[in-house]
Structure 1
Amino acid sequence: MKGNRFNRSDSLLKIILIYAVLIVACICSVYPILNILTISLRPANALFSKSLSIIPANATLDNFRQAFIQYDMLNWLIHSLIVSSCACVFSVLVSVTAGYGFSRFEFKGKKMGLSLILVTQMFPLAMTLLPLYLLIINLKMTNSYFALAVIYVSTSIPFNIWMMKGYFDTIPKSLEESAYVDGASIFRSFYQIILPLAKPSVALTALFSFMGAWSEYIVASVIINEAGKITLPVGLVSMQGQFSTAWGIYSAGALITAVPVMILFISLSKYLVGGLTVGSVKG
């Protein structure tokens, strides 16, 4: 394919296979979401109905109301928004500036630094959970949103730094050199020339950072153990009963959880459309 069109030389079989794969992938992605939506709209006494309709005939929003009445859903949302927003902001600031430094400047230990950053991605977060928890205890920062946000930032910036560096490498240095000739400083050329060109990569960094912190459960369940401070993923797990679970309310809570991420994705979509491969001087 070239752009959004098929080449004339593409056979009919190839086109059919491509569309078949795309359709199957879409079905696999959308079906669980539609299933959760259907369950959340069903009343408690009709949870396991055999109807295949997405919107059941007796649809009700009672499960969404009960999610806020029976559980502390609103506070869970606020707590997660605070932690995820802080983690997103600090991760973007660190990743953008560090990525620019690794891309534009030569200094001793540059290659080793990039390699060490990459090595940190080889270890799962659960492996480092114990030393991080002991460190937080020694710093007397348990049940602290700041400590939780710092952990999320430290786990997201290695990948984000590499991504930002790769994007900055595609931006010609001649743009900055022209700014220097006109009397602009390094900081001015960065914020007024380079950073606007890197909006797609910055938007993707922000999205990854927010989503990683928003949906994380293991660290949040260990660091925050005070009932009044738990985040949304921990709260959703607490909705599961030992012997029975109100799956309608649980499904409604899961859909509510997806709303902030959807809003962020839609807000950043105009920057993400260009992708990470668009040249800075294209057109």
Structure 2
Amino acid sequence: MRQRPIAKVGFNALGLVVFALSVFPVYWMVTTGFKPSEEIFTTDFIPFPINPTFEHLDRVFNQGVAGNSIWVYMGNSLIVALGAVVFSGFFALLGATAIARYRFRGRSAYLILLLVIQMIPGEAMIIPLYVMLIRLGLTDQLFGLILVNAGSALPFGIWMLRTFVAAVPVELEEAAWLDGASRWTAYWRVVFPLVAPGLVATSIFSFITAWNEFVFALTLIRTQSNYTMPVALNFFISQRGADVGAIMSAATLMTIPVVVFFLIVQRRLVAGLTAGAVRG
């Protein structure tokens, strides 16, 4: 009987260690943004700012980046991330529904192909994507970057949503048809609320992936005013060195929209679990 409490304490201690290791980089990023330069570049370990300062944050806000306000880059990242969420979520839901509900030739090969696409490094697709966007006239445009990020998140979204759609019994739709509902109405009123948690989960993945994406944005965008936040952070690094304080302050600002987006959609995630046909 003693082994169980000891094992429980051991697992709890291990969980605390993992939690501390996960949170420490974020804590260090936030606190470094408020440290003066002498505390940042010292060889001593300073766990928190001794003389807190807003000079780095003030430099990010007032001086901007590469001649543009930091809000320009934040707005670009927000447009790209939300656009990728909408496009990837819509087409992933259609693809997942087709795979889960219908039987057609090449269905298994298509699923395997989705996995193969996920194995291909994004860097290997830069040149083909760049050539394709040139022919479409979408280079140096946020819409082109939205399509690229949506396409990157699409295979994962289809695989995840496929499980959610398959878990919804077909009989629920058939019952709605018998009650006079059209195919679209039955899907929207019965199936969609039950699939909504999966759609929220994929939207979180799509948003974070598009928000933090760097290589595609750096390659496909040429105009500085169209750069996203990850590319803008690169301007704080010059031949004279890196402005660590400004980088940490800007990176802290960059994490806020992700947290806000998660707080907004997590309510939908919980609500979706109790919506639809499971309601009385």
Give structure 2 stretches of 5+ with no counterpart: none
- For residues 47 and 206 of structure 1, what CA distance do their matches in structure 2 show? 36
Among candidates 234, 242, 245, match of residue 245 of structure 1: 242
Q: Quick check: 1:151 aligned with 2:143? A: no
The alignment status of 1:182 with 2:179, answered yes or no, reads yes
TM-fit CA distance, 1:10: 7.1
2:169 is paired with a residue of what secondary structure?
A: coil
Residue from 5, 19, 36 that aligns with 1:26: 19
- Code of the residue aligned with 1:85 in structure 2: it is L
Letter in 2 for 1:111: S
Question: For the residues of structure 2 that align with 1:166 and 1:252, how far apart are their CA atoms?
Answer: 40
Secondary structure of the residue that 2:180 maps to in structure 1?
A: coil
In the alignment, is residue 229 of structure 1 matched against residue 222 of structure 2? no
The answer to whether the 8 A contact 1:91-1:156 is kept is yes
Give the Cα separation in 2 of the matches to 1:51 and 1:121: 41
The aligned counterpart of 1:261 is 258
Describe the SS at the equivalent of 2:104: coil
The correspondence for 1:270, drawn from 263, 267, 270, is 267
CA distance in structure 2 between the partners assigned to 1:201 and 1:143 by the alignment: 32
Structure showing the higher helix proportion among its residues: 2
8 Å CA contact 2:172–2:277 kept in 1: the answer is no
1:34 CA displacement = 0.9
Whichever residue aligns with residue 134 of structure 2, its letter is I
Could you tell me which of 91, 97, 101 is aligned with 2:98? 101
- Contact conserved, 2:138 with 2:144, CA < 8 A, in 1? yes
Kindly tell me: are residues 47 and 280 of structure 1, through their superposed partners in 2, closer, same or farther at Cα, counting changes over 3 Å?
A: farther
Given the superposition, is the C-alpha separation of residues 170 and 9 from structure 1 closer, same or farther in structure 2, using an over 3 Å criterion? farther
Q: Which amino acid in the other structure matches residue 9 of structure 2?
A: I
Maintained 8 Å contact 1:92/1:206: yes
For 1:118 and 1:280, how far apart are their aligned partners in 2? 32
Task: Give yes or no for the alignment of 1:139 onto 2:132.
Answer: no
Aligned residue number for residue 166 of structure 1:
163
TM-score w.r.t. length of structure 1: 0.89
**Contact 1:171 1:280 survives alignment (8 Å):** no
Q: 1:14 to 1:280 in 2, by over 3 A?
A: farther
Q: In the alignment, which residue of structure 2 is the partner of 1:4? A: none
> What is the identity percentage for the equivalent residue pairs of Structure 1 and Structure 2?
30
Indicate the RMSD between aligned Cα atoms, in angstroms: 2.4
Within the candidate set 193, 197, 201, 1:196 is matched to 193
Aligned-pair distance for 1:52?
3.7
- AA aligned to 1:270 is R
Q: CA deviation at 1:13?
A: 2.8
1:87 aligned onto 2:81: no
Q: How many residues of Structure 1 are paired with residues of Structure 2 in the alignment?
A: 274
Name the TM-score, length of structure 2 as normaliser: 0.90
- Which of 43, 61, 64 does residue 54 from structure 2 map onto? 61
CA contact (8 A) 1:36 1:251 kept: yes
SS of corresponding position for 2:238: coil
Choose which of 113, 116, 138 in structure 1 pairs with 2:113: 116
Distance (Å, rounded) in 1 between the aligned partners of 2:252 and 2:18: 21
Give the letter for the 1:200 counterpart. P
Match of 1:46 in 2: 39
Distance 1:275 1:51 in 2: 46
- 1:168-195, CA deviations, whole angstroms, 9 ceiling, x for partnerless residues? 1112222111111111111111111111
Structure 1 residues 270 and 259: alpha-carbon distance in aligned structure 2, compared to 1, 3 A threshold: same
Cα drift, residue 275 of structure 1: 10
Structure 1 segments unaligned to the other structure (5+ residues): 1-7
